[in-house]
Amino acid sequence: MNIRLTTETGSFEASLNDSAAARDLATLLPLTLETEDFHQTERIAYPPRKLDTTGAPDASHPRAGDLAYFSPWGNLALFHRDGQHSPSLVILGHLTDRTDARHLATADRITIENLP
């Protein structure tokens, strides 16, 4: 599934994988969320409810440009730098052009929507 992420600095295309969590996120779109910095590696935001993580791996190693979900806290994570191996982190998809990840570093608000 192809989506668009829109921030104060522009719009960026991304694709979601076929995981249960990604499909569940898609049912919430369009979605506009406030974001905050987390460890100068990712911007985090909280969707209106927890996502279904059925069948998710126990851990993931995120890369810049990944869109992920941290199940214990129930937050989305938009990585603008490579992250560390993280238990309970579910990769949902990634930016089509991973070099666009640098634009996410200062995003205070993000809109996520389906592309036609």
Instruction: Tell me the average pLDDT of the chain.
Output: 96
Q: How far apart are CA 10 and CA 29, in angstroms?
A: 18
pLDDT digits (tens, 9 = 90+) for 66-90: 999 999 999 999 999 999 999 999 9
Of 67, 88, 81, nearest to 25 by C-alpha is 67
Q: In the structure encoding, which two tokens stand for residue 94, read together?
A: 């990634």
What is the C-alpha separation between 33 and 62, in angstroms, rounded? 21
| Cα–Cα distance measured from residue 61 to residue 46, given in angstroms and rounded to the nearest whole number | 21
Average pLDDT over residues 5-20: 96
Q: What is the pTM of this model?
A: 0.95
Strand partners, 115: none
Q: What's the pLDDT score for residue 116? A: 82
* Full set of structural domains in the chain with CATH: 2-114 (2.40.100.20)
